[in-house]
Amino acid sequence: MSYLARVDPEIAEILEKERLRQTNGLELIASENLVSRAVLETTGSIMTNKYAEGYPGKRYYGGCEFYDMAENLARDRLKQLFGAKHANVQPHSGTQANMAVYFSVMEMKDVLMSMSLSQGGHLSHGSPANFSGRLFTVKPYGVDPETEMLDYGQVGEIARKEKPKLIVCGASAYPRTIDFKAFAEIAESVGAYCMADIAHIAGMCATGVHPSPVNVVHFTTTTTHKTLRGPRGGAIMAEPDYAQAVDKAVFPGMQGGPLMHIIAAKAVCFKEALRPSFRDYNRQIVKNCRAVAATLMENGLRLVSGGTDNHLLLIDLTDLGITGIDAENALGRAGITVNKNTIPRETRSPFVTSGLRIGTPAVTSRGMKEEEMRFIGDRIARVLKDITNTARQAEVKAEVQAMASKFPIYPE
Ligand code: DSN
């Protein structure tokens, strides 16, 4: 830090402000987490200095011998973690992992079937605003309007009608268990490829806390920075028949030089995820999310689908008469970071929304348990029920800071 402070005091000051924000507040964004010191150290290491286009043993630059060792470790550990037969750790992000799978087996205009963004899917699953929606013919499925859960019978019907080339399963705002076997069977019955995007639930899939799609579907994509607690990035696991196509789609198809400091940090993350304690950690994420959910419901708030099976929950703000954007801002003033989110049967734009998404990976990484989750659920309800009360928001912010200070992000 002393170098940075001397070279660029403005950025040093921003980093310090952000350190304080993370330390004093509660990060409840479902897709975020806090990396270990070892991952942080590797991410900021000299491994950032080199180009390594290509793959281990087949690079387009000299001097890659240690980069090869790091990438091989990352690939082997990812395979071990999920029991996968082939792994590619080069995608810079989850979206790029998805893009590589699409390009490995699809042509432009082919039919892509996926969960629509407004019902819990992801931008890269075919949103018209994203490359995936512009290049492919997208046929969406959603959740059942009554249960707000996936209806596999309905997914099968859409698949039989639309005859997709690829079915995507996986979501970024779905609080329930996903039946990957059901998706694989539907895909098989219509001769489609099946890809599971487990970006949100990868840590749970790796540890058996959620069923894993690896070796069930043809392709599994993920990010490494959510429940896996690694650096920001993506990865792909594929059945051996598609290994070469996937590797070619990533490089040279879609990316140039891999981010080797990130790949080395992915290797560290996978090693940490192979420890038995990582299963306990993922179990605690779910227990914590259930505790927040129970507290919110006891306070009269409605949750989409009536609860959660995983690391996230969605609050339907309709009955409170407030919008997602106003709720996000009010909680932000109270030191609680969340994001507005569309909910099933949404009537508002994605910039306004009628819902809030809340997740427990980051607070669980700080060592918080059910007692703290009840505190969090209670304070969220207090703020949301009187959203214009800025004095209450200030009061909650002080309480949040006092509670958070007992759970340092990087204890000495
Ligand atoms: N943007 C991420 C999320 O918040 O779910 C997914 O990539």
CA–CA separation, 373 vs 375, rounded Å? 5
Q: Which of 226, 229, 266, 392 is catalytic?
A: 226
What would the mean pLDDT of 106-111 be, rounded to a whole number?
98
Is 102 one of the annotated active-site residues of the chain?
no
pLDDT tens per residue, range 45-88: 999 999 999 999 999 999 999 999 999 999 999 999 999 999 99
Smallest CA separation from ligand 1 atom 6, residue: 172
Cα Rg of the chain (Å, integer)? 21
Measured in angstroms, how far is the CA atom of residue 256 from the centroid of ligand 1? 24
Q: Mean pLDDT in the chain?
A: 97
* Residue of 351, 283, 350, 347 lying closest to 318 (CA atoms): 347
The string of pLDDT tens digits covering residues 210-247 is 999 999 999 999 999 999 999 999 999 999 999 999 99
Ligand 1: lining residues by beta carbon, under 6 Å: 31, 94, 122, 172, 199
Q: Which amino acid is at 260?
A: M
For residue 152, give the H/E element and its range.
Answer: helix 152-162
Tokens 């268990």, residue located: 177
β-pairing, 111-115 vs 137-141, is parallel
Please report the domains of the chain, with CATH numbers, ordered by start residue: 16-34+284-404 (3.90.1150.10), 50-273 (3.40.640.10)
- The band of 1, judged by pLDDT with boundaries at 50, 70 and 90, is low
Q: Distance between terminal CA atoms of the chain?
A: 17
pLDDT for 315 beyond 70 = yes
Q: Quick check: 285 pLDDT over 60?
A: yes
CB neighbour burial string for 322-359, b if at least 16 within 10 angstroms, e if fewer = bbbbbbbebbeebbbbbbbbbbbebebeeeebbbbbbb
The DSSP annotation for 2-36 comes to: HHHHHH-HHHHHHHHHHHHHHHHSEE--TT-----
**Ligand 1 centroid to 63 CA: how many Å?**
35
Q: DSSP secondary-structure letter at 81? A: H
pLDDT tier, 188 (very low <50, low <70, confident <90, very high otherwise): very high
Kindly list the distances between the CA atom of residue 249 and the CA atoms of 23, 87, 273, 339, in Å, as whole numbers in the listed order.
Answer: 40, 13, 27, 33
């492919």: which residue's tokens? 136
Helix, strand, coil % in the chain, rounded to nearest 5 = 50, 15, 35
User: Three-state SS for 13?
Assistant: helix
Please name the residue ranges forming H helices in 307-369: 324-333, 361-365
48 labelled catalytic: no
- pLDDT at position 93, please? 98
Nearest alpha-carbon partner for 338 in 286, 301, 379:
379
Question: What confidence tier does 14 reach under pLDDT thresholds 50, 70, 90?
Answer: very high
Tell me the pLDDT band of 2, cut-offs 50, 70 and 90: confident
Residues 6+ away with beta carbon under 8 Å from 14: none
| Predicted pLDDT at 411 | 83
**3-state class of 195 per DSSP?**
strand
Nearest C-alpha to atom 3 of ligand 1 is from which residue?
Answer: 31
Q: Check residue 412 and give its pLDDT.
A: 75
| CA pair distance 32, 348, nearest whole angstrom | 25
Cα–Cα distance for residue pair 158/152, rounded to 1 Å? 10
Which residue type is seen at 162?
A: E
Looking up tokens 């919008």 gives: 323
Which of 223, 295, 337, 353 is catalytic? The answer is 223
Token pair 């309480």 in the structure block, residue: 399
Q: How far is the CA of 189 from the centre of ligand 1 (A)?
A: 30
DSSP 215: T
Per-residue pLDDT, 186 = 98
Residues of the chain above pLDDT 90, percent: 99
CB 292 within 8 A of CB 373: yes
**Alpha helices per DSSP H over 299-369:** 324-333, 361-365
Decide if pLDDT at 279 tops 70.
yes
Question: Rounded CA gap, 113 and 111, in Å?
Answer: 6
